[in-house]
Structure 1
Amino acid sequence: MIVQDVINHLEELAPLAYAEDFDNVGLLVGNKQSEITGVLVALDTLETVVDEAIQENCNLIVSFHPIIFKGLKKLTGATYVERAVMKAIKHDIAIYSMHTALDNAFKGVNDMICSRLQLKNRRILIPQTETIKKLTTYVPKAEAEHLRNALFNSGGGNIGNYSNCSFNVEGYGTYKGNEHSNPSIGQKEQMHTEAETKISITFPKHLEQEILRALFQNHSYEEVAYEVTTLENKNQHIGMGMVGELEEALDEQDFLAFIKQKMEAKCIKHSSFLNKKIKKIAVLGGSGSFAIEAAKRAGAEAFITADLKYHDFFMDENKLLLVDVGHYESEQFTKNGLVAHLTKKITNFAIILSKTNTNPVKYF
């Protein structure tokens, strides 16, 4: 097994195409063709985590947070980032990071929080836009079914709970090839009219290469006419945060005790009590103040996130309970979810959960 094999399984869960533009995700250190001796899954790739990988004979670290976030202009060991990277390189250890690609995945960070809290009726809090694309092409009528099936088999035509979705229009296409052409139907330098089907399908943007490959491999024309456009539709399966419901409503103090226990938080910061039951909850792992308004619009009675500042707590506007469980606490179970995913995909290879606590925040 090589590094790329593990990457393929990880990107089934969280395609890198959906990471935020500011982020640095993917293979940060190492060669994707290297054979793997072991995989260590961690939240952060600190020097102590690299030491753990060496001890466990793992030459691939799958990390949620990217150890390299901004450009490195030198490697002298002066910072914790440089030391971790240098040690990984010295011991031929590859580092792969997922970060906001996993934040935006439907079965990613926020779904893992919802599972921890046993929330039902889950949906994305802030769906991404411009993640759905549309292919339009023209094919001889007799070949339309074959091409449609090839596009479907490559992942095209899936809309929500429906598959094999397409729109088709019958018409006539005309063309005339020059002396250098080699038409599959008709003769060069002669005008030709062909009964054609216009096929339109939608597909997720991370599958564009596969969709175009299927188009070119299954279309008989020498020159394939097609267009790919980006739709502005919201993608209900990709985006930040998640909304779900408790099985039974809890009063606010019982709710906070429940959250503290489930998230294994040393302490919790929260906004003023509103003296009402809580059942519908919005969650967003990591720094989530930007999603407070979205949580209100979603009708959440509480919003669980991290890194809320002093003035953020005024933004509750007496409409929902804001709960800050801590950055590490909100994301700490991500590595458990990644280990579970990889263990299902790779049944004959040990996937090791890092035991290193990388939380930089201490409590007194």
Structure 2
Amino acid sequence: MTVHDVVAWLEEFAPLHLAEEWDNVGLLLGDTRRSLSRVMTCLTLTADVADEATRENVDLIVSHHPILFRPVQRLTTGTREGELLLKLIAAGVSVYSPHTAFDSAADGINAELSRLFELSDVQPLRPMAAPEAGNDDELPAGSGRFGRLPEGTDLTGFMQVVKEKLGVPHLQFVGDPARRIEQVGIACGSAAEFLRDAAGHGCDVLLTGEARFHACLEARDLEIAMVLPGHYASERPAVEGLADRIGQQFSDLEVWPSRVESDPVQWSVS
């Protein structure tokens, strides 16, 4: 078993052409010829996650968020990013990032969230042009998802469902708590750029992880509700599920989601 074997499966599971143009996806660090036996998934490759990987002799990290977004002009221990990368290189750890390709895949994060909330008639919020989409997906390829709830509710009721399904005690929202919610738009992470797409598809609410203040104002102007359970809460469950998928596909590998990763955002209860 080599890094190439797992990378090839990941690229089939979440085809890289589904990624947003600005994104940096694929194998970002490592040698595809290197053998491997231990794989770890995480949402973000932070210093404590890297320490876990080297301590546990991980061969491949599948990090949802890319470790490299901008061109690197020098690689030294003078920066936190450089120190982290050099530590991984010295330990022979490869790093793969599916990011927005995983968000938009037929069985990706947004599709998984759509199933979690039992949406019907699910379609992409922003469909891809036919030549880009290919013909292998269960529905037209594209970014985000929208669909209908099995039973309409008000915004307060929908927020309670979100808390229960995602396991969060608190969330932020925009909109009238009494507003009727039947059609739901979903875009994991920080994806308020899909507000107009969701409104255009007749969605009553957009569920995304987090949004800036001006995006919240825009939601109010567009008269669409927005529910914000947190970036981590909207994506980490799928990262855990990805570890299960890899383990099922490659039974000879030991695969697990990072055990030290946690949400950096905390809520005051007092």
CA drift of 1:71 comes to 1.5
Residue identity in the other structure for 1:94: S
Number of the residue aligned with 1:354: 258
Residue identity in the other structure for 2:55: Q
Number of the residue aligned with 2:187: 284
| 1:103–1:239 CA contact under 8 A, matched in 2 | no
Task: Find the aligned partners of 2:25 and 2:183 in 1 and give their Cα distance.
Answer: 32
Distance of aligned partners of 1:159 and 1:67 in 2 relative to their CA distance in 1, 3 Å threshold: closer
Deviates more, 1:339-348 or 1:300-309: 339-348
Residue identity in the other structure for 1:72: V
Determine whether 1:241 maps to 2:154.
no
More strand per residue: 1
Task: Find the aligned partners of 1:159 and 1:60 in 2 and give their Cα distance.
Answer: 27
Number of the residue aligned with 1:91: 91
Deviates more, 1:116-125 or 1:3-12: 116-125
Structure 1 residue matching 2:248: 3-state secondary structure: helix
| 2:25–2:98 CA contact under 8 A, matched in 1 | yes
Task: State the 4+ residue runs in structure 1 displaced beyond 6 angstroms.
Answer: none
Number of the residue aligned with 1:54: 54
Unaligned runs of 5+ in 2: none
Distance of aligned partners of 1:359 and 1:75 in 2 relative to their CA distance in 1, 3 Å threshold: farther
| 1:28–1:96 CA contact under 8 A, matched in 2 | yes
Structure 2 residue matching 1:17: 3-state secondary structure: helix
Using the size of structure 1 for normalisation, the TM-score is 0.68
Structure 2 residue matching 1:267: 3-state secondary structure: coil
CA drift of 1:292 comes to 0.6
Task: Find the aligned partners of 1:8 and 1:310 in 2 and give their Cα distance.
Answer: 40
Alignment deviations for residues 59-116 of structure 1 (CA, whole Å, 9 cap, x no partner)? 1101110111112222222333222211101111011111111122121120122233
Distance of aligned partners of 1:359 and 1:131 in 2 relative to their CA distance in 1, 3 Å threshold: farther
Task: Find the aligned partners of 1:305 and 1:18 in 2 and give their Cα distance.
Answer: 19
| 1:125–1:294 CA contact under 8 A, matched in 2 | yes
Structure 2 residue matching 1:24: 3-state secondary structure: coil
Alignment deviations for residues 191-215 of structure 1 (CA, whole Å, 9 cap, x no partner)? xxxxxxxxxxxxxxxxxxxxxxxxx
Residue identity in the other structure for 2:209: A
What pairs with 1:305-320 in structure 2 (closer than 5 Å)? 305-316=208-219, 317=221, 319-320=223-224
Task: Find the aligned partners of 1:327 and 1:259 in 2 and give their Cα distance.
Answer: 13
Structure 1 residue matching 2:188: 3-state secondary structure: strand
Q: Which has the larger radius of gyration?
A: 1
Task: Find the aligned partners of 2:222 and 2:68 in 1 and give their Cα distance.
Answer: 40
Number of the residue aligned with 2:113: 113
CA drift of 1:246 comes to 2.2
Task: Find the aligned partners of 1:17 and 1:101 in 2 and give their Cα distance.
Answer: 7
Using the size of structure 2 for normalisation, the TM-score is 0.90
Residue identity in the other structure for 1:330: S
Task: Find the aligned partners of 1:44 and 1:131 in 2 and give their Cα distance.
Answer: 32
Structure 2 residue matching 1:287: 3-state secondary structure: coil
CA drift of 1:355 comes to 1.5
Distance of aligned partners of 1:340 and 1:131 in 2 relative to their CA distance in 1, 3 Å threshold: farther
Distance of aligned partners of 1:117 and 1:56 in 2 relative to their CA distance in 1, 3 Å threshold: farther
Alignment deviations for residues 141-182 of structure 1 (CA, whole Å, 9 cap, x no partner)? xxxxxxxxxxxxxxx8x5888xxxxxxxxxxxxxxxxxxxxx
Task: Find the aligned partners of 1:343 and 1:66 in 2 and give their Cα distance.
Answer: 22
Distance of aligned partners of 1:28 and 1:254 in 2 relative to their CA distance in 1, 3 Å threshold: same
Structure 2 residue matching 1:352: 3-state secondary structure: strand
Structure 1 residue matching 2:179: 3-state secondary structure: coil
Q: Aligned pairs, how many?
A: 267
Structure 2 residue matching 1:286: 3-state secondary structure: coil
Distance of aligned partners of 1:19 and 1:262 in 2 relative to their CA distance in 1, 3 Å threshold: same
Alignment deviations for residues 307-341 of structure 1 (CA, whole Å, 9 cap, x no partner)? 32222223333632111222222111121231232
CA drift of 1:360 comes to 3.0
Task: Find the aligned partners of 2:177 and 2:190 in 1 and give their Cα distance.
Answer: 23
What pairs with 1:320-335 in structure 2 (closer than 5 Å)? 320-335=224-239
Distance of aligned partners of 1:261 and 1:274 in 2 relative to their CA distance in 1, 3 Å threshold: closer
Unaligned runs of 5+ in 1: 134-155, 162-235
Deviates more, 1:274-283 or 1:299-308: 274-283
| 1:273–1:321 CA contact under 8 A, matched in 2 | yes
| 1:124–1:237 CA contact under 8 A, matched in 2 | yes
| 1:112–1:333 CA contact under 8 A, matched in 2 | no
| 2:188–2:235 CA contact under 8 A, matched in 1 | yes
Residue identity in the other structure for 1:243: F
What pairs with 1:176-325 in structure 2 (closer than 5 Å)? 237-273=140-176, 275-316=178-219, 317=221, 319-325=223-229
Number of the residue aligned with 1:142: none
